[in-house]
Structure 1
Amino acid sequence: MPDASAADSVHPLPSPAAQAERLIELGVHEIAGIPAEDIRAFAGTADRGRDVLLAVHPDRAPASALAPLLLRDGKPGFVVVDMPDVDRFAPTAVEIPDAPLYFVAGPDRGDHLANWSPEEALPALTKDGCTPLVLTEGIHWVLQQPAVLERNLCFMTIGSRLRKANGALDARTPAIWISNGTGRDGRERRNAPKVGWCWWGNRHTWLGFASAAGREGQ
């Protein structure tokens, strides 16, 4: 299995019940059109003692709606301006439960794969019995556990890809990191959580590859 990274470098995830309350506090249930009590009830089905992330299916709560809910240093998250099609990055080569709510087991930041390209990291994760996180799962993770996003220790979510009209996959791959406030981000966004993208074949020393040990729905 992959070396321990986020699971050991930050506190364990809040309980599923606490995660449910966090989503409700942020209004995610309204975005998704799911009654608050349904989220609380689903959280109560989690196996005790397991480190799981409560996630809303991306069809119900897309990345464009979740990203602004991120917060760091008092600054809200945002999607880079050259990714207006962010919600078209769908789960690819990753099976997520066909349910409004589901659990992501054992999320890992993948620090040990920093400076690998997505093209190199995907088969390594698969070999270790893991699957990459999709973008909305990564956003959910940072919403529940902000400390998982650290300078020089951020992550890609290569389980989400954009398939073009000709059937080929777009070379961009989503990632979540911290803005430096440069370029089109704007100075006012320095240190804000940022949803952006990197090329499929490029390497970055400060980006790992977030993965999950499994997913469960009802």
Structure 2
Amino acid sequence: MPFDADAEFDRQVRTLIDNGYPKLTDLDDDAYAALLEPLRETVTTHEAMAEPEEGLVPFVLVVTRELAPLYDVVPRLTLGGRKTKPGVVDHNYAEGELVRFVAAKEVELPDARAYVLFDIQRGEEFCGAVPNDAMATIADRDRTLLTIEEGLSLVQQFPSILAKNKCFSLGGSRCGDKRVPAIWISQNAPKLGWCWQGNPHTWLGMASAAGRDGSLG
């Protein structure tokens, strides 16, 4: 059977509601679903998409910090399977420092609040590569690096995409220095941290996507 993008859209909206995202706004569940509804057409009119598979996702609804502050989103993440420990922010971020990491100048967001990210690759082929080199290769392929919000949205909707030795950097968010945000597994929970752009890690790839689209109007 072909991939049912309409049903997957409903599932992702329900996941956000079930994980308390409306509570981060002044909206109830129905109003929150209505807010995201304009993105349905963006999904259903997109070119044919394949079913999700290991390390590959056809689309994900991205809710940005405008609607969901980063420090409130991370604890809502868990790993796949029966693991339920909440996500954490690495202590190497100074208190409140996450807000300094914003979309890089090469990244154009279609809406500051929420939109759709298409054709996401976890990027384990870049495990062991220097992050700077991985980011250059992705740019040469005319793909885009994931922001922090996009990485968190990806793990929220597809927890099993974060796997042992197949974690990933989020080079689409930077703060003007040599640090690259990344999300990995620590003590059976997702952890949002950062690594230096010149330091390779065997367990850390570089996530990317084909593009972004959609507006809440």
Letter in 1 for 2:203: W
Q: Is the 8 A contact 1:99 1:217 kept in 2?
A: no
Q: Is the 8 A contact 2:39 2:115 kept in 1?
A: no
Equivalence for 2:65: 58
Task: Report the TM-score, using the length of structure 2 for normalisation.
Answer: 0.81
Equivalence for 1:88: 100
Letter in 2 for 1:171: K
Q: Secondary structure at the match of 1:174?
A: strand
Gaps of 5+ in 2: 50-57
Letter in 2 for 1:115: G
1:116 & 1:39 partners in 2: Cα distance? 40
Q: Is 1:155 paired with 2:174?
A: no
Larger mean Cα displacement after TM superposition, 50-59 or 192-201: 50-59
Q: State the Cα distance separating 1:65 from its structure 2 match.
A: 1.5
2:198 & 2:22 partners in 1: Cα distance? 36
1:67 is aligned, of 59, 74, 94, to 74
* Deviation by residue 1:98-131 (Cα, 9 ceiling, x = unmatched): 3422000011111111111221111100111101
Q: Is the 8 A contact 2:121 2:208 kept in 1?
A: yes
Q: Is the 8 A contact 1:20 1:43 kept in 2?
A: no
2:205 & 2:131 partners in 1: Cα distance? 9
1:155 & 1:62 partners in 2: Cα distance? 21
Q: Is the 8 A contact 2:36 2:114 kept in 1?
A: no
Equivalence for 2:120: 107
Equivalence for 1:7: none
1:88 & 1:37 partners in 2: Cα distance? 29
1:57 & 1:42 partners in 2: Cα distance? 16
Q: Is the 8 A contact 1:78 1:193 kept in 2?
A: yes
2:12 is aligned, of 8, 13, 19, to 19
Equivalence for 1:41: 37
Q: State the Cα distance separating 1:30 from its structure 2 match.
A: 2.9
Q: Secondary structure at the match of 2:191?
A: strand
Q: State the Cα distance separating 1:44 from its structure 2 match.
A: 2.6
2:26 & 2:208 partners in 1: Cα distance? 27
Q: Is 1:117 paired with 2:117?
A: no
CA change 1:114–1:38 in 2 (3 A) is same
Task: Report the TM-score, using the length of structure 1 for normalisation.
Answer: 0.81
Equivalence for 1:196: 193
Q: Secondary structure at the match of 1:98?
A: coil
Q: Is the 8 A contact 2:39 2:214 kept in 1?
A: no
1:43 & 1:203 partners in 2: Cα distance? 37
Letter in 2 for 1:69: R
Q: Is 1:77 paired with 2:103?
A: no
1:96 & 1:124 partners in 2: Cα distance? 21
Q: State the Cα distance separating 1:216 from its structure 2 match.
A: 0.3
1:94 & 1:109 partners in 2: Cα distance? 18
2:18 & 2:36 partners in 1: Cα distance? 12
Equivalence for 1:9: none
Q: Secondary structure at the match of 1:198?
A: strand
